[in-house]
Each structure stands twice: as structure tokens, then as C-alpha cells.
């Protein structure tokens, strides 16, 4: 019903709007109930929940403010603690053995191959790519190219799981047994009712890839995306429904963290995938007694090896890694360990110049959604109390903007801290604190200080991404062999960011660590191993009752 209303509203807007506005609506995809260009303080958008096959509102609207001007521009129907019953009932309808598994409703694997094919095709239409890129920009401001890349990765992911590729995810194996009629089969089994919680920084890619992985393997997920950006996934779910996603297969909830926490405790999903901060990750791991997979904070390091080459290229990758999306990638370069050989290469000057090209107008630098300007300045000032530290560039708030004060607005910033100081116990925690904004620490090491660099990497808690920038095979081998980060790039073109659909992305060194993107990630996160040992006989004619053992 509300879908109908929204589309009627849309038609009315189309009728009454001036020409430019009409033309924008004409380019709005058929499944959409919003137009990224039209959403504003005077024409706010609504985000609903989806439960037990219907779109629903709630008693409470949470207003989201436009990160660029502070206008209340989106209202989200946030479910309250007293309203979670329908979500609990919905999850409880899914048995532990899932909606499908290798021995139940296998045709659903094929159905999901078809849904993926249709969704990949629809998402690949230029107007749909553009629609999602622009919608992402409105709520999680980043350059058009960065937003478009997020949509393209999502589209390629869907292409990867067309046809028979979903059923291949559930490939089983058989091992011959000890006697005739016996064999063991290993299966990938779903968990059944599951939950997915995702953050604000990749409004489409993270929730979509995890949602599809959960569904492919036969689970029934309830999805919660950070309300600041959940409009993007709300529209994507409408696209998926248009592509044949059965309405009862998943639910979509908007709520604050506390209500979601309550739902998890009361509905008892068999597995929860959490992507977000380590603080919440640890709370959920304890609350849910370990029934979690985690993609949490990243304090991502890059080591420049002794072989200096391709300085312009390396400087550009450093700039992209540290400051694209205003540093709000969990894979963003947080600390740069630079071999002294690079000092005279002009690398830092080049990085400074590149950082100065970034501007608010094209969102190559922009609002920081979870760290205020004051908090970033305070962190920087604390770092500057460390002996020998200094601001390399940036270090100031952005000027001439209307970004509301609840968000941060900071120039791309690099602070130098001497390596020996980083390692001091009083300083280490401070220096390795993740600042989810355009902020990095830079340090230098000499030939005989590689051990100190590796000690720093060993002492860090988050082991998400890393880059070893060198083409010296022995250097690479040494550093790779003595580090653990789950997604590590190695070679002169190494970067810390980049989570395309074609390689695993996720932390290592933690048994709770999840992954995203690849078949291995889907199987690890969204299925468990089940072994069925067939032993059908015949019992040999010569069999006689053995003595007791």
C-alpha cells in the first residue's frame, strides 16, 4: 500500500514539477520511490521497514540531516523497542536448517542464480548505476567516482553469482567409508534465522553483498543498516523484489543500536554478521555468546620498502588510500612506515600537493560522519605532544562550508611521529587509535629498524588491510611472513584500500573474523559444515556378535 502511495506521490510530483525536475524523475528507475536529486529539506524522503512480506512504518520517525547543509531531508521509520514483535515472529518462522539446504528445496539455489542475473542486469543499466551512485553521494558524501565504484562492485558481484554459481557455493564432497554402503558427505549448511548489521560508509556494497551471501546459502536474514544511509538499501530491496526476491525471504529493520541489540537478544538469530566499530563488535560478541562473525575496525598500515621507485604513482596511491571517501574506509591508510630511502624522493611533498587538490565541491573531501572536527583536532593535538612529532600537512578544519557541527570537516591531514616514540607504551594506544576521517600518521625507519616496524604491526589489535610497497622479493617475503592482516597487498603498486568483488576482504588473526565478496567469504560466513555419514549396509553375512568392548 505504502509502495503504491509512494508511486502515486511520485506521479504527482512528476505532474506538478517544472521541466528539469520532470526530466530527473523520468530518469528515475521504475522500482524507485525517491529521486536522489529531489530529496531535500522541502521535499524529504521516507524510509520504511520491510517485515513478513510488507513495507511498514513505525510510531517514530527519525530525521536524518543532509551532511552538506544540515537540513532535515530524510525521515526513517525507526522501530522502537516495543515494536520488534513482528520481526521476532518473522525470524522464528525460519527453521535452523534454513529455507533451503543441499537436501531441501535445492531449486532455490537456482532461483537465486536467476535473481542475481536479473538484478545484475538491472543494476548494470546506466540510469540505475547513476541512480544509486547519486543516492549514495547524498547520504555518505564521496566523489561520484568513488560512489559509482561502489555500485559497480555490487553489480559485478551479482554477475558473479548468476546461473549455477549459487548452487556451486553449496558444493559438497564425499569420502569413501570403511566398508560397503558407508561414505561420508560434507555439506555447507545454513544457520537458518540470521542477522546482518552494517555501518554507514558503504551504504550499498556491504549490506548487499552480505545479504545476498546469506540468502544464497539458505538463511533468512534480518538486515539493519545504519539509519543515516539506509535509504540506499531500502531502494535496493525494492529492486530485488522486482527481480523476483521472495517477499518472505528477508526482513529489513531501521532502528537505533539499542533496539537492534534487544532484537538480537530476544529473537536469538543463529548467527549475526556485524560490520562496524570494534566497540560494538565486542559488545555483540559477548551478548550473543560468540555466535557472531565480525568485520570491525581497521588501523591499516603501509610499509614502503627500501627500493624507491615510481614515486609519483606511490604518492597518488597514498593519497587515495588515506583520503578518498574522506578517509572513511575501514581499509584507509592509517599509518605509513616510510623507509629512509624515500626521504629525499619528494614523496611527502607530492602527497601534500595531491591532498591539496581535494575539494568539497566535488566531494573529494567532505563530511566525516562519525568523528567531529573538534575530536580530530584534539586527537592531532595529543599526537603533537609526543616528542619529535609535527604536522606534515592539513591539520586545519575545512573552510567555507555548511556541514553541520555534528559531523566533522577537516582538511586531509598527516602527522609525523618518530618511530621510537610510537612504540613507547604511553604513546602506542594513542597513535594506533583509528580516526575514521581524513587523518594519517607518518613515520620513518632506517635499515636496522625494520624489527621496530614489525613490532608495531604485531602490537596492533586490528588486522584488516595492509600494503607492502616494494618489489624486493626478499623484503616482501620477510614482511609477509611476519604479519597477519587479512587483506594484504604486496608489490610496488600495493594499496590498503580496494574491496572489489574479486578478492577476499576481511580481517585475519581472529577466529570470529568474517569476509566479504568471494565464494570463500560467503561459504565461511553464511554456512557451517555438516557431515552426514551414510551407512546403509548390507551387513555382511559373516557378521557375528562381537564381545563387549
Ligand X SMILES: NC(=O)c1ccc[n+]([C@@H]2O[C@H](COP(=O)([O-])OP(=O)(O)OC[C@H]3O[C@@H](n4cnc5c(N)ncnc54)[C@H](O)[C@@H]3O)[C@@H](O)[C@H]2O)c1
* Catalytic site includes residue 330: yes
Residue number with CB closer to ligand X (252 or 436) = 436
Of residues 236 through 255, those in contact with ligand X by CB under 6 A are: none
261 is in an annotated binding site: yes
Of these residues, 234, 295, 434, 444, which one is catalytic? 295
Residue number with CB closer to ligand X (76 or 392) = 76
**Cα end-to-end span (Å), the chain:** 68
Please report which residue ranges of 292-370 form alpha helices under DSSP H: 311-323, 347-356
For 204-240, b where at least 16 C-beta lie within 10 A, e where not — what string?
Answer: bbbbbbbbbbbbbbbbbbbbbbbbbbbbbbbbbbbbb
Residue-by-residue DSSP string for 165-219: HHHHHT--EEEE-SSTTEEEEEEEE--SEEEEEE-SSSTTHHHHHHHHHHHHTT-
Among 28, 116, 143, 201, which residue interacts with ligand X (rule: CB under 6 A)?
201
Check if the beta carbon of residue 379 is closer than 8 Å to that of residue 417: no
Q: 228: which DSSP letter?
A: T
224 is in an annotated binding site: yes
Q: Is 330 in the site for ligand X (CB under 6 A)?
A: yes
Q: Is 259 helix (H, G, I), strand (E, B) or coil?
A: helix
Q: Which residues contact 101 (CB under 8 A, 6 or more apart)?
A: 170, 187, 189, 190, 218
- Provide the 10 A C-beta neighbour count for residue 71: 17
Dihedral sign for Cα 222, 227, 232, 234, please: positive
Closest CB 379 distance from ligand X, rounded Å: 14
Among 276, 366, 437, 438, which residue interacts with ligand X (rule: CB under 6 A)?
276
Among 167, 283, 390, 503, which residue interacts with ligand X (rule: CB under 6 A)?
283
Residue number with CB closer to ligand X (44 or 199) = 199
d(CA 382, CA 400): 26
Among 2, 40, 277, 345, which residue interacts with ligand X (rule: CB under 6 A)?
277
* Catalytic site includes residue 295: yes
Residue number with CB closer to ligand X (90 or 101) = 90
Of residues 357 through 396, those in contact with ligand X by CB under 6 A are: 370
470 is in an annotated binding site: no
Closest-CA residue to 499 (of 243, 240, 154): 154
Closest CB 429 distance from ligand X, rounded Å: 16
Q: Is 334 in the site for ligand X (CB under 6 A)?
A: no
Closest CB 542 distance from ligand X, rounded Å: 59
Q: Is 300 in the site for ligand X (CB under 6 A)?
A: no
Q: Which residues bind ligand X (CB under 6 A)?
A: 197-201, 224, 226, 257, 260-261, 275-277, 280, 283-284, 295-298, 330, 370, 434, 436, 464
Q: Residues forming the annotated binding site for NAD(+)?
A: 198, 224, 261, 277
Please list the active-site residues. 295, 330
Amino acid at each position: 500500500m505504502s509502495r503504491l502511495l509512494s508511486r502515486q506521490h511520485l506521479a504527482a510530483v512528476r505532474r506538478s514539477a517544472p521541466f528539469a525536475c520532470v526530466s530527473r524523475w523520468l530518469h528515475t528507475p521504475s522500482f524507485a520511490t525517491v529521486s536522489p536529486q529531489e530529496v531535500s529539506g522541502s521535499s524529504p524522503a521516507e524510509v520504511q521497514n520491510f517485515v513478513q512480506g510488507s513495507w511498514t512504518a513505525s510510531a517514530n520517525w527519525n530525521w536524518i540531516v543532509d551532511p552538506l547543509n544540515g537540513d532535515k531531508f530524510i525521515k526513517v521509520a525507526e522501530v522502537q523497542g516495543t515494536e520488534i514483535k513482528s520481526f521476532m515472529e518473522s525470524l522464528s518462522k525460519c527453521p535452523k536448517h534454513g529455507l533451503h539446504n543441499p537436501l531441501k528445496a535445492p531449486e532455490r539455489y537456482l532461483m537465486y542464480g536467476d535473481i542475481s542475473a536479473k538484478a545484475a542486469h538491472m543494476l548494470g543499466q546506466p540510469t540505475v548505476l547513476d541512480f544509486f551512485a547519486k543516492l549514495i553521494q547524498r547520504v555518505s558524501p564521496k566523489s561520484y567516482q568513488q560512489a559509482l565504484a561502489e555500485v559497480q562492485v555490487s553489480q559485478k558481484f551479482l554477475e558473479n553469482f548468476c546461473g549455477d554459481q549459487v548452487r556451486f557455493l553449496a558444493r559438497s564432497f564425499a569420502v569413501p567409508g570403511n566398508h560397503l554402503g558407508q561414505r561420508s558427505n560434507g555439506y555447507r549448511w545454513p544457520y537458518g534465522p540470521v542477522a546482518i548489521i552494517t555501518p554507514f560508509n558503504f551504504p550499498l556494497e556491504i549490506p548487499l553483498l552480505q545479504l545476498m551471501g546469506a540468502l544464497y546459502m539458505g538463511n533468512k536474514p534480518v538486515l539493519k543498516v545504519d539509519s543515516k544511509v539506509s535509504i540506499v538499501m531500502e531502494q535496493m530491496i525494492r529492486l530485488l523484489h522486482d527481480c523476483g526476491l521472495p517477499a518472505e525471504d528477508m526482513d529489513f529493520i531501521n532502528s537505533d543500536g539499542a533496539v537492534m541489540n534487544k532484537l538480537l537478544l530476544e529473537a536469538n538469530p543463529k548467527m549475526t554478521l556485524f560490520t562496524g566499530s570494534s566497540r560494538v563488535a565486542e559488545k555483540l560478541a559477548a551478548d550473543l555468546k560468540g555466535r557472531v562473525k565480525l568485520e570491525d575496525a581497521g588501523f591499516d598500515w603501509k610499509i614502503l620498502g627500501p627500493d624507491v621507485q615510481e614515486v609519483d604513482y606511490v604518492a597518488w596511491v597514498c593519497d587515495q588510500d588515506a583520503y578518498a571517501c574522506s578517509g572513511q574506509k575501514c581499509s584507509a591508510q592509517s599509518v605509513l612506515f616510510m623507509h629512509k630511502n624515500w626521504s629525499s624522493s619528494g614523496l611527502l611533498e607530492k602527497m601534500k600537493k595531491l591532498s591539496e587538490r581535494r575539494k568539497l565541491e566535488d566531494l573529494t573531501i567532505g563530511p566525516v560522519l562519525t568523528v567531529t572536527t573538534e575530536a580530530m583536532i584534539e586527537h592531532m593535538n595529543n599526537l603533537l605532544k609526543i616528542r619529535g612529532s609535527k604536522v606534515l600537512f592539513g591539520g586545519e578544519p575545512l573552510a567555507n562550508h555548511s556541514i553541520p557541527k555534528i559531523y566533522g570537516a577537516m582538511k586531509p591531514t598527516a602527522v609525523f611521529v618518530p618511530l621510537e616514540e610510537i612504540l613507547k607504551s604511553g604513546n602506542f594506544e594513542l597513535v594506533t587509535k583509528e580516526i575514521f576521517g581524513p587523518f594519517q600518521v607518518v613515520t620513518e625507519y632506517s635499515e636496522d629498524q625494520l624489527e621496530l616496524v614489525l613490532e608495531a604491526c604485531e602490537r596492533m589489535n586490528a588486522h584488516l588491510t595492509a600494503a607492502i610497497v616494494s618489489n624486493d622479493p626478499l623484503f616482501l617475503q620477510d614482511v609477509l611472513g611476519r604479519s597477519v592482516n587479512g587483506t594484504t597487498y604486496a608489490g610496488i603498486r600495493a594499496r590498503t584500500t580496494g574491496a572489489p568483488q574479486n578478492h577476499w576482504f576481511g580481517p585475519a588473526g581472529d577466529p570470529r573474523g568474517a569476509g566479504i565478496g568471494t565464494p570463500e567469504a560467503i561459504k565461511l560466513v553464511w554456512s557451517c559444515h555438516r557431515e552426514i555419514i551414510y551407512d546403509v549396509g548390507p551387513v555382511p553375512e559373516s557378521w557375528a556378535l562381537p564381545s563387549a568392548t
